[in-house]
Structure 1
Amino acid sequence: MRKPHEWLLDASIYFSFDRSGSERHARTWPGFRDRLRSGPDEALTGLVTGGSRGIGAAAVHRLRGMGHRVLSCGRSEQAEDTDYRTLDTGDWAAVARTVETLPPLDFIALNAGAMPERFTLNADGVELQMASQLFGHYLLVHNLARAGKLREGARVVWMSSGGMYLQRLHLRHLFENDRYDKVATYANVKRAQTIVNAQMARMPLFRNVGCFAMHPGWVDTAGVREAIPGFWRWTQGRLRTPEQGADTLVWLVTRASSGEGAADASSALESGGFYFDRRRVSPYLVPGTRETATEREALLEYLERLLAPYQVGVTP
């Protein structure tokens, strides 16, 4: 139970999303240990996209330290890591090919993200943030599910961002984006991720899979320093470490489904939910940012149309 002053600190956002918020929230977590979800003798197998640096690299390191096999991917090359592969999730043909090479997975963290400075299209003529962070990830998990490579009880985790709280879904900017602003585009894509996650939880294709979205708070990464240096300077010294940013991701993919280790002993993971610091939270904090049912349906219909040339032909 949070005390009144903690409610005020969380309501400030600044003292919730920053490092002090992570440290304060962690003091309420009842005994979560670095343990194997499937039992002491069975490690999980998973994939983390964007695993070469920042939050993704921190998640890979911690999960491997827990005894799990973690594959990772990113746009850079890492020859020294045999479980790493080079993959740009904006290259949809490459994503489709990669699914064929992956083993069955117990979890997948959809973490890859970036903010191109200028308006950029992928090979299919789609704005790159939407192409890589939204559809590329959706294509990846869709094809894994169709190919039977998401094991029963597998966890899918979308790494969204607190920046999406100020953003209402703007469908036209997802599809066309004729007035590109990297930060607004990023927030719009991250808002769309939370919506897609909630919709996936209702799909028959993912009926035996847990679908979750989360945000990591404000984290000190090279990506933040490079993409939004003004924000980084304003929050310098108060940003979370990549390890703190990765904590909820690790918690979501490893904790038991019974509710053990939850921030609230009465809570349990709920597929389709949005999480922050090991607690389910609302993705709508600002009035006027909630999309309509028609907009949700239009978003999914658009993604389904894009799937046609790239989806695997295996019936789940």
Structure 2
Amino acid sequence: MTDTAPISTPFTAESTAEEVIGGIDLTGRRAVVTGGASGIGAETARALAGAGAQVTLAVRDTEAGRRKAAEMAAATGNEQIRVARLDLADRRSVAGFLAAWEGPLNILVNNAGVMASPEVRTPEGWELQFATNHLGHFALAVGLHRALAAAGGARVVSVSSSSHLRSPVVFEDIHFRRRAYDPWTAYAQSKTANALFAVGAWERWESDGIAVNSLMPGAIRTRLQRHVTEEELERLRAEAGGDAPAWKTPGQGAATSVLLATSSLLEGVGGRYFEDCNEAPLHEPGSERGVAPHAVDPEAAARLWQVSVETLTA
């Protein structure tokens, strides 16, 4: 965490993306939202399009993406909603997206993700959740760095989770080659990586005017939980007791992402972790809220950056 005062805003856990972006004009701005065809990604993209931005939905299922783009265009009156294929677990797919991108980019929302999946490995042998949630987004953001720098005042939003509290990045065995695979530990590690990415990217890109922050969107029922049973979700919430967060609507879940992507209150702010539209305090034991020190540690962020570069270029 930084030594400066935490960022606070007039918005809360109940605020929606539409409320957060009210009065903001994004005409002439360009945005990319990964996983923009469903859940909070769709609500994030809808809010950006509603404010006038040209939005690209970067999705695995382009047919679903085109359906969602048509819905958004009808709802917002903005015809500048595009669809591009992107499979974050496939290096060739990421490279193809990057090769096709032209011109500056004002907003990148790294939103897509996999939660608590069975053990799956990419052709490289990488654990799927880390490969998708972190490595794919890392390759995408680094590949778009020049476009972000060219925009002037660009924003990168890294969607993390309170699950990061469950595990740091275990550098000695990131891909579960020696330790027993656990779906929730793997997910937690990947979400810590999302927060550490914001710390590392801000350190490197602040001089380019690129603000990078991470966030916990809240508890929202979306397709992200497709690998998780209702019983498992309720068990986890019961473990949290009275500290379990209330369920949010997708619009409320997208609010913090939209805040970080667009609000003037975040000018010049980077490397921080937010929840419920405000900067999160450091985590206190026994709580399900706040940010763990291991997720905002500059040394861990620097190590993760180096490991990510080495992994992707091996």
TM-score w.r.t. the length of structure 1 is 0.76
Instruction: State the identity as a percent.
Output: 24
Structure 1 gap ranges (5+): 1-20, 263-267, 310-316
Post-superposition CA distance 1:133-179 (Å, at most 9, x none): 10110110101114667521110000000111232332234244542
Query: Which residue does the alignment assign to 2:140?
Result: 140
Query: Which residue does the alignment assign to 1:223?
Result: 224
Structure 2 gap ranges (5+): 1-11, 70-80, 239-244
Aligned-pair CA distance for 1:37: 5.1
Query: Which residue does the alignment assign to 2:181?
Result: 180
From 43, 51, 60, the equivalent of 2:36 is 51
Query: Which residue does the alignment assign to 1:168?
Result: 168
Aligned-pair Cα RMSD in Å: 3.0
Do the aligned residues in 2 keep the contact of 1:107 with 1:150 (CA within 8 Å)?
no
Task: Indicate yes or no: 2:75 matched with 1:76.
Answer: no
Do the aligned residues in 1 keep the contact of 2:152 with 2:208 (CA within 8 Å)?
no
Post-superposition CA distance 1:118-145 (Å, at most 9, x none): 2111122211111111011011010111
Q: Structure 1 CA distance, aligned partners of 2:261 and 2:25?
A: 8
SS in 1 for 2:220: coil
SS in 2 for 1:109: strand
Task: Indicate yes or no: 2:246 matched with 1:246.
Answer: no
Query: Which residue does the alignment assign to 2:293?
Result: 290
Do the aligned residues in 1 keep the contact of 2:34 with 2:41 (CA within 8 Å)?
yes
Q: Quick one: structure 1 residues 33 and 63, their matched pair in 2 at CA, closer, same or farther if it must change by over 3 Å? A: closer
Count of aligned positions:
272
Task: Indicate yes or no: 2:196 matched with 1:195.
Answer: yes
Task: Indicate yes or no: 2:147 matched with 1:159.
Answer: no
Query: Which residue does the alignment assign to 1:300?
Result: 305
- The residue type equivalent to 1:91 in the other structure is D
Moved more, 139-148 or 63-72: 139-148
Moved more, 171-180 or 227-236: 227-236
SS in 2 for 1:36: coil
Aligned-pair CA distance for 1:289: 5.0
1:87-106 to 2 correspondences below 5 Å: 87-103=86-102, 104-106=104-106
Post-superposition CA distance 1:175-231 (Å, at most 9, x none): 445421111110111011111210111115863200010111111213225425225
**Which has the larger share of helix?**
2
Q: Structure 1 CA distance, aligned partners of 2:28 and 2:160?
A: 26
Do the aligned residues in 2 keep the contact of 1:50 with 1:74 (CA within 8 Å)?
yes
Query: Which residue does the alignment assign to 1:280?
Result: 279
Q: Quick one: structure 1 residues 207 and 171, their matched pair in 2 at CA, closer, same or farther if it must change by over 3 Å? A: same
TM-score w.r.t. the length of structure 2 is 0.76
Q: Quick one: structure 1 residues 97 and 206, their matched pair in 2 at CA, closer, same or farther if it must change by over 3 Å? A: farther
- The residue type equivalent to 1:180 in the other structure is Y
Q: Structure 2 CA distance, aligned partners of 1:88 and 1:102?
A: 15
Aligned-pair CA distance for 1:297: 3.4
Do the aligned residues in 2 keep the contact of 1:219 with 1:239 (CA within 8 Å)?
yes
Q: Structure 2 CA distance, aligned partners of 1:246 and 1:128?
A: 24
Do the aligned residues in 2 keep the contact of 1:144 with 1:150 (CA within 8 Å)?
no
